[in-house]
Chains A and B, each alone.
Chain A
Amino acid sequence: MTKTPIIEVVDGCKMYSKSRNDAVVFEHLNLSIQQGEFVALMGPSGSGKTTLLHSIGGLEKLTSGQILIGGQQIDHFNERQLARLRSQTIGFIFQFYNLMPMLNAAGNIELPLMLTKLGQKERRRRVDEAAEMVGIRHRLKHRPNELSGGEQQRVAIARALVSDPPILLCDEPTGDLDRATATEVMKILQLLGKELGKSIVMVTHDPSAADYADQTYTFNKGEISKMDRAA
């Protein structure tokens, strides 16, 4: 029996209207990602990697085509349904961490739990668990400006994990980190895929980061192709 992909893009097309000319970002794009699969998206700047990531996360709408998350077509979701999808099914990790500067690490990790009805005790347990998983528990009381880049990204990963979403969408998670720290972050992401069964879609320019993924797709001139791992 064929397993239903957790993420599926069918004949995806994205265009931006620039005065009288339409700029095609990508078209006829098809992509299928299974539960627990770690996929890297590579390609030159402006090739549509981040646009596709945002479309999967419901932050942008495709011009045409379909996106299915867990078998549900999200293209026609309203704002409230998309918000629920993001809070329950998807965790975002950004290049520049996007942490709230006024909250300490614990507060940042807890942020998505504000949307749940969980009690304070359960929230604290989940924050501790997520922080433990990414090795940042000892820095929970610190604010983002007191943390290194690597630590901030760990906090961002813990924030993405805290509500236990099955999908993680990562936009250049190692783009602002040095090599050693980037390796640590990639090992964490790989572990999340392998041990927790998270499906991970990662946009990256870094081939060594892409090496941690199960599959790598490259974007070029509006088309996507699977990279041959053996090559």
Chain B
Amino acid sequence: MNSSKFIALNFKSAWLRNLLLMSSIVIAYVLFGILSAFQQSYGATSSDDDASRMITANKINFTQPLPLSHFHEVQKIPAVREQTYAAWFGGYYQEPRNSLHAIAVEPQSYLKVYGKDLHLSDSAQKSFLDDRSAILVGKSMAEQYGWHVGDQISILNKRITRADGAHNWVFRIAGIFEGATEQIDTSFLYIHYRRLNEARDQNVDTIGWIVTKPEVGENPSAMGQAIDQHFKSFTDRTTTESERSFSQAFVAQFGNLALVTLLVLAAALMSLIMIVGSTTALSVQQRAREVGILKALGFTRQQVLQLIVTESFSLTIISGCFGLAIAAGLLESMAESFASIAPGIAITAEIFVAGVLSMIALASLASVIPALKVVNADTATLLRRS
């Protein structure tokens, strides 16, 4: 018999309680992993470029359109080096539940500003630029609907009526972009703005937002202020912010439900941690008799403490790591579904380290403090109690 065998036998003796306790820890760390991954993904930077990209939208709200003429006005501002524009298209594929994140863009300038992020072949770019019915589809969206390059797809859009009264829009897939990094959302598709603008019967010559990049050495925020200053006297005034802030505001449209879910999960996680903590603390206190016997046999306080704490730490860390592994598996399998609100969501090394540190903290609080109390108690009192 050695310490490990003693601990294993002790674990086995209360296997049901320990199994339930381990299950609670596993669930707690599945939630911890998922929550942390979401948290990290929300604040993630998609690429180095997006730090310098600024988005100009209508000052009232970004859902309000801007006149296309604003784009030409922006070109006059000296601090601006590159610019493009886009408008929300939306629609759905086959059934309303298959809603699409579809954006109408000015292809030439859009690829100039975002080409590096999209990671698209030259032939795909050319194929997109040459045909107004061509679209670019993100990898995760293409995988979700089983689309391939060259496929003709039909998108229904009840919000935008074509001039002929129809709501049906047929496109050809010119290319599938993979995204230069994992954080880049590939659950989008891009159509030609001119195709939208020429066919629709209202909001003609309006756009959703303008994307700009500053001249080398120019401060992006200063450029943004210059843009807003330029439009100060226009009917449609603007507000310019970094792409990251804009994306977060955009995500917030869909994110409120996610936020509520996250809060519920966080509450569940805290409850589980408290249950695990109190159960562990109670089980340590119930071992007063065992502690008394071991001390009477000649075990030192330190040796007894080591036995109890090792058992508690092993139980917490094995279960916690298993929980994080399950969270990683779940996130991997659900990455596509979360791609639009949390691109590149995964259990990163940072989350793993934070998880292990919290396991150590949990095990310490739950076992070391009550174990110290029991181990430091008078041996004769412990034996009398038994």
Contact = CB atoms under 8 A, between A and B. Distances in A.
Given A100-B290, A102-B12, A114-B6, A79 B1 contact: no
A172 to B, nearest CB: 12
A87 interface: yes
A147 interface: no
B386 interface: yes
B380 interface: yes
B300 A111 contact: no
A86 B298 contact: yes
Interface stretch (A17-25, A33-41, A52-60, A183-191): A52-60
A98 B298 contact: no
Nearest to B290: A100
A83 interface: yes
A103 interface: yes
Interface string A14-50: 0000000000000000000000000000000000000
Contact of A83 (B1, B293, B300): B300
Contacts of A83: 295, 298-300, 303
B378 interface: yes
A107 interface: yes
Interface residues of B, number: 26
B301 interface: yes
B3 interface: yes
B379 A59 contact: yes
B296 interface: yes
A94 interface: yes
A44 B293 CA distance: 25
Contacts of B383: 54, 59, 94, 98
Interface string A46-84: 000001001001011000000000000000000110011
Contacts of A220: none
Contacts of B379: 54, 59-60
Nearest to B300: A83
A194 to B, nearest CB: 25
A112 interface: yes
A59 B294 CA distance: 12
B82 to A, nearest CB: 71
Nearest to B376: A79
Nearest to B11: A102
B12 A111 contact: no
Given A102-B13, A107-B1, A114-B3, A86 B297 contact: yes
B296 A84 contact: no
A80 B383 CA distance: 19
A193 B235 CA distance: 109
A57 B2 contact: no
Contacts, number: 73
A60 B379 CA distance: 8
Nearest to B12: A102
B195 interface: no
B9 interface: yes
A7 B84 CA distance: 96
A115 B299 contact: yes
Nearest to A60: B380
A98 B289 contact: yes
B297 A79 contact: no
Nearest to B294: A111
A168 B120 CA distance: 84
B108 interface: no
Interface string B245-263: 0000000000000000000
B386 A98 contact: yes
Interface in B1-53: 1-3, 6, 9-10, 12-13
B34 to A, nearest CB: 36
Contacts of B386: 96, 98
Contacts of B378: 59-60
A92 B297 contact: yes
B297 A111 contact: yes
A115 B292 CA distance: 16
A87 B300 CA distance: 10
Contact of A79 (B293, B296, B301): B301
A88 interface: yes
A8 interface: no
A207 interface: no
B85 to A, nearest CB: 72
A92 B296 contact: yes
Given A107-B1, A114-B3, A98 B293 contact: yes
B380 A107 contact: no
B1 A87 contact: no
Interface of A: 51, 54, 57, 59-60, 79-80, 83-88, 90, 92, 94, 96, 98, 100-103, 107, 110-115, 123, 159
The 10 closest A-B pairs by CB, nearest first: A87-B298, A102-B13, A86-B298, A83-B300, A59-B379, A54-B380, A59-B380, A60-B380, A102-B9, A98-B293
